[in-house]
């Protein structure tokens, strides 16, 4: 039986001031009560074209914040615009057509169209739907999970991915050099050219009570690095100094999240950012993260350079697929 999607629920609501109780977060998660409204420092904005400073800037931001915004990244605005257009048009298709791409939990894959991927201890639901599919490497791509409509969907995603590969290399090189390693060290430890790139389109319909609901609950990313295209409808928040603060929208910027696997490899020198997504009362909000991760069978643990008697390993070494299974099912690592 297909899950009822949030987009369908939102379209059927009769009241403009209430939402079903399963979407009302517990009080200490409600954004209306927990968002910090005072002055807060801004997430670092890093110029990828500033070759003299980019390594230090990325390393510093990854230690202190676990997130930064990247400008002058070299992806043409038209390529990003097309990625956004075809993604938006997919979610405007009739519900029945979208359901033909529904994720099948029995397959063991998270690819496809769905809602609510993580278990919630309070039985609550997130106010958002998604589309997942792999974009790299070619051996992992299942074009059956790529929408056939709009007709230019495949071309737009393939063109965007070409640019993304080079950006990921630059980010990983900078992170490696920032740790005193060779530029290729982290990429090699994450599977090299076989690194997975999984695209997700997050779709958050307008929500009558954005003060009570979340599009995505607080979490850090499973990935090594997440490269995200935002829209101009704000909603990304991070936890900084025990406060939930809003991330400013920077036109044309990519938002880069440091994920769990980079924190593990660096034995905690770099920080996997805790973040969540809020929703909007008047507008749908969409984002396009790509999760860049080790292959499922790759074993990841703290690099030996960062482990000693004085500084023991802070994380277990395990296959990425096992780490993923434990985290998604709320099991101890």
Q: Are the C-beta atoms of 209 and 19 separated by less than 8 Å?
A: yes
- Which residue is listed with tokens 């980010």? 171
Question: For 2-52, what is each residue's pLDDT tens digit?
Answer: 678 999 999 888 667 889 999 999 999 999 999 999 998 999 999 999 999
Sequential DSSP letters for 186-218: HHHHTTGGG-EEEEEEEEE---S-TTT--SEEE
**67 pLDDT above the threshold of 70:** yes
Q: Are the C-beta atoms of 57 and 265 separated by less than 8 Å?
A: no
* Prior bond of 197 cis (ω within 30°): no
What pLDDT is attached to residue 137?
97
- The pLDDT confidence band at residue 122, using thresholds 50, 70 and 90, is confident
For 32, list phi and psi in degrees, rounded to 5: -65, -30
Strand partners, 240: 243
As a whole number of angstroms, the distance between CA 159 and CA 182 comes to: 29
Question: 6-293 maps to which CATH number?
Answer: 2.60.120.330
Helices (H) and strands (E) in the chain, counts: 9, 14
Rounded to an integer, the average pLDDT of 313-333 is 93
What pLDDT is attached to residue 109?
82
Q: Are the C-beta atoms of 265 and 186 separated by less than 8 Å?
A: yes
- The pLDDT confidence band at residue 330, using thresholds 50, 70 and 90, is confident
- The pLDDT confidence band at residue 118, using thresholds 50, 70 and 90, is low
As a whole number of angstroms, the distance between CA 54 and CA 88 comes to: 33
Q: Are the C-beta atoms of 160 and 81 separated by less than 8 Å?
A: no
As a whole number of angstroms, the distance between CA 207 and CA 33 comes to: 17
Rounded to an integer, the average pLDDT of 162-185 is 97
Question: For 261-273, what is each residue's pLDDT tens digit?
Answer: 999 999 999 999 9
What pLDDT is attached to residue 104?
81
Residue percentage of the chain with pLDDT more than 70? 98
Rounded to an integer, the average pLDDT of 276-281 is 96
- The pLDDT confidence band at residue 1, using thresholds 50, 70 and 90, is very low
Question: For 129-161, what is each residue's pLDDT tens digit?
Answer: 999 999 999 999 999 999 999 999 999 999 999
As a whole number of angstroms, the distance between CA 88 and CA 63 comes to: 34
**281 pLDDT above the threshold of 90:** yes
- Which residue is listed with tokens 């990313």? 221
**45: enclosing H helix or E strand:** strand 45-47
Question: For 194-211, what is each residue's pLDDT tens digit?
Answer: 999 999 999 999 999 999
Token couple for 92: 């405007």
What pLDDT is attached to residue 103?
87
Q: Is 118 helix (H, G, I), strand (E, B) or coil?
A: coil
Mean pLDDT of the chain: 94
As a whole number of angstroms, the distance between CA 263 and CA 148 comes to: 37
The residues assigned a catalytic role are: 200, 219, 221, 275
As a whole number of angstroms, the distance between CA 8 and CA 16 comes to: 15
């Amino acid at each position: 039986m297909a899950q009822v999607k949030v987009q369908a629920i939102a379209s059927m609501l009769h009241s403009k001031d209430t939402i079903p109780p399963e979407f009302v977060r517990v009080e200490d998660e409600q954004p209306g009560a927990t968002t910090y409204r005072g002055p807060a420092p801004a997430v670092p904005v890093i110029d990828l074209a500033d070759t003299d400073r980019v390594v230090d800037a990325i390393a510093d931001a990854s230690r202190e914040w676990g997130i930064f915004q990247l400008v002058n990244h070299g992806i043409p605005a038209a390529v990003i615009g097309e990625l956004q257009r075809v993604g938006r048009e997919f979610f405007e298709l009739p519900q029945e057509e979208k359901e033909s791409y529904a994720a099948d939990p029995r397959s063991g894959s998270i690819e496809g169209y769905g809602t609510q991927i993580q278990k919630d201890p309070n039985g609550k639901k997130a106010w958002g739907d998604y589309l997942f599919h792999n974009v790299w490497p070619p051996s992992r791509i299942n074009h059956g999970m790529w929408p056939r409509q709009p007709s230019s969907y495949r071309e737009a995603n393939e063109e965007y991915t070409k640019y993304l590969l080079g950006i990921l290399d630059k980010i990983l090189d900078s992170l490696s050099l920032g740790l005193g390693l060779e530029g290729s060290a982290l990429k090699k430890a994450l599977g090299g050219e076989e690194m997975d790139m999984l695209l997700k389109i997050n779709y958050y319909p307008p929500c009558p009570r954005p003060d009570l609901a979340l599009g995505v609950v607080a979490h850090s990313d499973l990935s090594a690095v997440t490269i995200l295209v935002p829209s101009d409808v704000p909603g990304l928040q991070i936890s900084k100094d025990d406060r939930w603060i809003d991330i400013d929208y920077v036109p044309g910027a990519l938002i880069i999240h440091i994920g769990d696997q980079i924190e593990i490899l660096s034995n905690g020198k770099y920080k996997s950012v805790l973040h969540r997504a809020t929703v909007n009362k008047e507008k749908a909000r969409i984002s396009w993260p790509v999760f860049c991760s080790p292959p499922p069978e790759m074993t990841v643990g703290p690099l030996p350079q960062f482990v000693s008697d004085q500084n023991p390993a802070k994380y277990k070494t395990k296959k990425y697929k096992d780490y993923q299974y434990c985290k998604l099912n709320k099991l101890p690592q």
